[in-house]
A and B are shown apart, each in its own frame.
Chain A
Amino acid sequence: MSVHILGIRHHGVGSAKQVQKELERLQPDLILVEGPPEVSELFKMVDQKTFKPPLALLVYNTMDPKQSSFYPFASYSPEWVTINYGQQNNVEVRAMDLPAAASFLMQKKKEEELLKKLEENELEDVLEEEPKAPITDPLGYLAKAAGYSNSEEWWDQQFEQNSGSSEEHFEAVMYAMEALREEGIPSTMEAENEIREAYMRNIIREAKNEMHHTIAIVCGAWHGPALKDDFSDSKKDNKILKTVPKRKLKISATWIPWTNSRLSYASGYGAGITSPGWYEHQWKTKKDVEISWLTKVANTYRKKDIDMSTAHIMEAYKLAVALATLRGHSFVNKQTLDEAVLSVMCMGDEIKMELIKEKLVLAEKIGEVPDSVPKVPLQEDFEKWVKKFRLKLNTLAKEVKLDLRKENDLNKSIFFHRLELLEVPWAKKTHATSKGTFKELWLLDWEPEIMVKIIEHAYLGNSIETATQSKVIEDGKQINEISNAASLLKACIPAELFKAIEFILDRINELSAISSDVKDLMSALPQLVDLSRYGNVRKSDLTVLSNIVDNLLIKVYINLPNACYQLDEENSNKMFKLILDVNNAVRIYQDKELTAQWYQALHKVMQSSGVHAIIRGCTCRLLSDAQFLTQEVTEKEISTNLSVGNPPQEVASWIEGFLRGNASILIYDNHLWNLLYTWVGSLAKDIFIEMLPMLRRAFSQFEPEDRLQIGQKAKRGLVTSDAFTDNNEDSDFDTERASQILPVLSELMGI
């Protein structure tokens, strides 16, 4: 029996090529690959035809999916090559590393310890402890010794590019790593590595007892030496592994699609590959890698209408080769190629290089996993819907237009609304350009992490509907403001979550009983009134809602005068808007008794002296519009408030409140017009100038056409009584013809 250790660099193209060659040479009957044992089963599923990298293995705690880790693979990852080799040649591939369960438990323990420390000590103590002596990349030492600026470059030069025999290659890698480890050079995650390597040795020992003839071990080069020596000393390893938590933890694992851009992020879930597109090119291209790359570069430019001749490709290649020779490299690496492209093709212009970076080097792409891969029920349900609606999980944003009158589109809309509530950031609602409530526009933008979000929510339920339902209920329990509850309710209705709606209605009822914040009530009301009026269109039962609205309105009426009392300018402005909103809501609600009560409340506000002029002006206007105040009273009110005795500031605010948002009253009500006209005329010059900005502000809210009309009217000056009668008795008016329409109109209006 023989054991062979193939030390690799994760996602190294050269390593992948060597691994392929070496496996073919060794013909092993068992392969061990770095990775938690929980994923071994998943290796067996891999099929070259249906699995399309980039992919990732997702390993998570079944009970708490937030605890998860990812193992990304590109087509050129040596591990991926190994798995594929195993599948094609019917060789068992087994994962060999610390179980994910143990890692999760250790991680949790660490977090808990940190929390404990935080509780016991001051925060600073903990923070002070954290930064240890920076651990440099161990390979950096060798690179430095060989005169390279970083270890990546050194590795590329030493191992990735040499195409000699694979046996020698792995011997050389092992030799280099042994030299490093003998020097006692620490690596990152030293403590963790010790445990992991002990566990790996245990697995290897087990495998050895199974009487295989050849075992190949594919692992990160750094681990090589640790796995090579004393396989027999299991006592020592067991001692190391004593600290590892033994508690059972249910772990699930699955394959999920990954993207090239995710591969390239150095931190988080990424694999730290800077140029996935280049690596893939290297992996796929058998010969003349550099020239065909440059051709690709030139083609990319040509597509963007930037001229690039064949001569450019030749010259860039020549320069790259000259540079490599000058630097003493035996091959042209990516950086050298980039520099040649920059100098020859881009005239030194970095901006042009960005295009290549985006299109070729990053080369955005998403992997594919067949449906046969086991999934969390929630994920399965999600994919079922996606398939049913014939949607695609694309990384390029796509717009979807829905017509809610069609059943399929309505279902889609419900699905998207549910995802939104579930905080799965895939579909985002944007404003439809056409008018009408039956059109919706959604923007779909997929990211691999979104799948993680879904899996994270798996504990909420087995289908999108139930999961969303329980999420909303959970969220609803946390809500303390009625306005927030109202927004949530509003979101639930298009998602058709009836159970959740019931719950939130109860919650609102509960909250309205204890809440005393009038502003909160007022901002919730318009939404609730909207829902009570239109909710039924969506087939939800909202009769309970009207009761709630009734109660809320009465509460508002009682508290409004007090709430308006003694507010500063800013808060008055806010209150002003709220009053307008509630007023609209009341009018939509169309309950006679409640409407009358509303106007009484407003009247009270109008008459109290401690209320800001803008609110008083506004209430006066609303009451006059509703004909609660007679014309006479309105005029009196206006002239009192505009009289010279008042401070100019206050007068201006009053007018602003009175006029804001509606110009028609000035255009059509001549009495009011005359009042205002005389008032402006009576102002002294300096007071007029003082008030000008505020007046201007009041008028600036009007539509341009209205402003034009007002201006024209102002040019004509006061409206005399002749003009009044003129308007009423139009000489061309044909009474007979007009009366002919009346029956039709009354039928239409159902009078």
Chain B
Amino acid sequence: MSTVLRQHAEQQFAEELEALKSQDKAHRPTNWELSPQAVVKYLMGGKLDNGFEITPKYIGNQRLMEIAVATLTTDRALLLYGIPGTAKSWVSEHITAAVTGDSTMLIQGTAGTSEEAIRYGWNYAKLLAEGPTEGALVETPMMRAMKNGKIARIEELTRIPSDVQDTLLTVLSEKAMPIPELNTEIQAVGGFNIIATANNRDKGVNELSSALKRRFNTVILPVPATAKEEINIVQSRVSSSIKALGLPAAEPTLKEIQRVVSIFRELRNGVTEDGRTKIKTPTSTVSTAEAISVVNNGLSLAAHFGDGTLNAHDIASGLIGAIVKDPVQDATVWNEYLEVIVKPRKEWSDIYRACKELSF
């Protein structure tokens, strides 16, 4: 077993990708490792003809994944949009892994992302010594993806300043990147495309220009529609991280996950699951991703400081940390929720007591 903390998707699921490839008879676009149908299969999971089981990577509407994959077969780029924690980056990584077998060509968008991070940079020592030569050029993931016909991923596109965003225009429309210093250009090889993710909450921070918008097909990833779906997501992600982290803990019971998920759903939707009581919602985005990390967190507590099985005390601290992001506003929301909703539920008394002990 490797000592890497987190393997890339294509490494972790190498076996599945291999199995899919061997069974895949449909047409593959240029430089694709799998056919679009097989990519969707990889994302949604299912049984192959030879009985091999593919685990689902995205739990939700298959049609969305179909739109995403179909987009990559056209010459438009893909923009995954949604509130934080709706598996945008996760989907982007897995699509890339399935399509090109290499999900490493990644540009993290930040307020400080510069044009050099997207186009190319210079090795200044060499630049000074040799002048502008190809050897002095520092390639970006974007450039490498273009050269090799792979998919480049841009995380948090809307956090990148607008003027830098617009460097993507030429790449997306001309499929080329000019290097005026060398009087040359890089032309993208077939199979090249971009998957960007952006955040609903940051809407308006650096709104995409309409020229750029036009070059993206947008897929909005929603929060899980039903509790069942969400429980399913948390469960599968938690059990895979137990394996990855090598935690000496038992898999959490379904009951425990259900409880965490329903706390998250109730706080997110502002109403109890039975629809009878209205609740205030906290300022934090109580997403599925947070629910997963609460359970993971609890598991590691249970493994190292507890008896190895997840109990209410292990969950409580993570829960409060995930929900109370603003010490004043969220604390009142949380306390109200505890007293009004959690307390009267008899079977939840353990979690109520555990949270009460940690309350402030």
A residues sitting closer than 8 Å to B (CB atoms) are: 307, 309, 311-312, 315, 318-319, 322-323, 325-328, 339-340, 343-344, 346-349
Contact B66 A323 (CB under 8 A): yes
Asked if B81 is at the interface (CB within 8 A of a chain A CB), the reply is: yes
Could you say which residues of chain B place their CB within 8 Å of the CB of A315? 74, 76, 214, 217
Could you say which residues of chain B place their CB within 8 Å of the CB of A327? 66
Asked if B218 is at the interface (CB within 8 A of a chain A CB), the reply is: yes
Q: Please pick, from A311, A326, A343, the residue contacting B36 in the complex, using a CB distance under 8 A.
A: A326
Q: Please pick, from A309, A319, A346, the residue contacting B76 in the complex, using a CB distance under 8 A.
A: A319
Of chain B, the residue at the smallest CB distance from A320 is: B70
The A contact surface, by secondary structure, is helix
Could you say which residues of chain A place their CB within 8 Å of the CB of B213? 347
Contact B214 A312 (CB under 8 A): yes
Of chain A, the residue at the smallest CB distance from B68 is: A343
Contact A326 B70 (CB under 8 A): yes
Contact B73 A348 (CB under 8 A): no
Q: Knowing that A327-B66, A347-B81 are A-B contacts, what are 10 other residue pairs whose CB atoms are under 8 Å apart, sorted by A's residue number?
A: A307-B210, A319-B74, A319-B76, A322-B36, A323-B70, A325-B70, A326-B70, A343-B67, A343-B217, A344-B217
Contact A311 B63 (CB under 8 A): no
Contact B81 A318 (CB under 8 A): no
Contact B218 A348 (CB under 8 A): yes
Could you say which residues of chain A place their CB within 8 Å of the CB of B136? none
Asked if B319 is at the interface (CB within 8 A of a chain A CB), the reply is: no
Could you say which residues of chain A place their CB within 8 Å of the CB of B73? 322, 325-326
Could you say which residues of chain A place their CB within 8 Å of the CB of B75? 318
CA distance A325 to B72 in the complex (A): 13
Query: Can you show 16 pairs from A to B with CB atoms below 8 A apart?
Result: A307-B210, A309-B214, A311-B214, A318-B75, A319-B70, A322-B71, A325-B36, A326-B36, A326-B70, A343-B67, A343-B71, A343-B217, A343-B219, A344-B76, A344-B217, A348-B81
Contact B66 A319 (CB under 8 A): no
Contact B218 A347 (CB under 8 A): yes
Asked if B37 is at the interface (CB within 8 A of a chain A CB), the reply is: yes
Could you say which residues of chain B place their CB within 8 Å of the CB of A311? 214
Q: A326-B37, A328-B37, A348-B81 are in contact. Are A319 and B214 (CB under 8 A)?
A: no
Contact A319 B40 (CB under 8 A): no
The B contact surface, by secondary structure, is helix
Could you say which residues of chain B place their CB within 8 Å of the CB of A349? 220
CA distance A315 to B71 in the complex (A): 10
CA distance A311 to B213 in the complex (A): 12
Asked if B171 is at the interface (CB within 8 A of a chain A CB), the reply is: no
Of chain A, the residue at the smallest CB distance from B173 is: A311
Smallest CB–CB gap between B194 and chain A, Å? 15
Could you say which residues of chain B place their CB within 8 Å of the CB of A319? 67, 70-71, 74, 76, 217
Could you say which residues of chain A place their CB within 8 Å of the CB of B63? 339
Q: A311-B214, A343-B217 are in contact. Are A326 and B71 (CB under 8 A)?
A: no
Among B63, B75, B217, chain A packs the most CB atoms within 10 A around the CB of B217
Asked if B95 is at the interface (CB within 8 A of a chain A CB), the reply is: no
Could you say which residues of chain B place their CB within 8 Å of the CB of A309? 214
Asked if B69 is at the interface (CB within 8 A of a chain A CB), the reply is: yes
Q: A315-B76, A318-B74, A326-B73 are in contact. Are A339 and B37 (CB under 8 A)?
A: no
Of chain B, the residue at the smallest CB distance from A344 is: B217
CA distance A339 to B70 in the complex (A): 11
CA distance A327 to B36 in the complex (A): 9
Q: Please pick, from A312, A318, A326, A348, the residue contacting B66 in the complex, using a CB distance under 8 A.
A: A326
Smallest CB–CB gap between B46 and chain A, Å? 12
Contact flags B191-231 to A (C-beta < 8 A → 1, else 0): 00000000000000000001001100111100000000000
Smallest CB–CB gap between B83 and chain A, Å? 13
Contact B76 A339 (CB under 8 A): no
Contact A326 B217 (CB under 8 A): no
Of chain B, the residue at the smallest CB distance from A309 is: B214
Among A309, A326, A328, A346, chain B packs the most CB atoms within 10 A around the CB of A326
Contact B218 A326 (CB under 8 A): no
Among B69, B74, B220, chain A packs the most CB atoms within 10 A around the CB of B74
Could you say which residues of chain A place their CB within 8 Å of the CB of B40? 326
Q: Please pick, from B37, B210, B214, B218, the residue contacting A343 in the complex, using a CB distance under 8 A.
A: B218
Of chain B, the residue at the smallest CB distance from A317 is: B74
CA distance A349 to B40 in the complex (A): 23
Among A312, A315, A348, A349, chain B packs the most CB atoms within 10 A around the CB of A348
Smallest CB–CB gap between A611 and chain B, Å? 46
Top 9 nearest A-B pairs by Cβ distance?
A348-B218, A348-B220, A322-B70, A323-B70, A343-B217, A318-B74, A326-B36, A322-B73, A347-B218
CA distance A237 to B214 in the complex (A): 64
CA distance A348 to B36 in the complex (A): 21
CA distance A284 to B213 in the complex (A): 34
Contact flags B36-53 to A (C-beta < 8 A → 1, else 0): 110010000000000000
CA distance A263 to B71 in the complex (A): 34
Smallest CB–CB gap between A257 and chain B, Å? 38
Contact B69 A326 (CB under 8 A): yes
Of chain A, the residue at the smallest CB distance from B208 is: A347
Could you say which residues of chain B place their CB within 8 Å of the CB of A328? 37
Could you say which residues of chain A place their CB within 8 Å of the CB of B70? 319, 322-323, 325-326
CA distance A326 to B69 in the complex (A): 8
Smallest CB–CB gap between A492 and chain B, Å? 48
Could you say which residues of chain A place their CB within 8 Å of the CB of B210? 307
Within 8 A of A (CB), among B56-80: 63, 66-67, 69-71, 73-76
Could you say which residues of chain A place their CB within 8 Å of the CB of B36? 322, 325-326
CA distance A122 to B214 in the complex (A): 65
Of chain A, the residue at the smallest CB distance from B213 is: A347
Of chain B, the residue at the smallest CB distance from A347 is: B218
Could you say which residues of chain A place their CB within 8 Å of the CB of B67? 319, 323, 339-340, 343
Could you say which residues of chain B place their CB within 8 Å of the CB of A312? 214
CA distance A425 to B313 in the complex (A): 64
Smallest CB–CB gap between A306 and chain B, Å? 11
CA distance A328 to B26 in the complex (A): 10
CA distance A319 to B72 in the complex (A): 9
Smallest CB–CB gap between B169 and chain A, Å? 13
Could you say which residues of chain A place their CB within 8 Å of the CB of B81? 347-348
Could you say which residues of chain B place their CB within 8 Å of the CB of A323? 66-67, 70
Smallest CB–CB gap between A152 and chain B, Å? 15
Smallest CB–CB gap between A591 and chain B, Å? 60
Could you say which residues of chain B place their CB within 8 Å of the CB of A343? 67, 71, 217-219
Among A318, A328, A346, chain B packs the most CB atoms within 10 A around the CB of A318
Of chain A, the residue at the smallest CB distance from B64 is: A339
Of chain B, the residue at the smallest CB distance from A312 is: B214
Could you say which residues of chain B place their CB within 8 Å of the CB of A344? 76, 217
Smallest CB–CB gap between B74 and chain A, Å? 5
Of chain B, the residue at the smallest CB distance from A307 is: B210
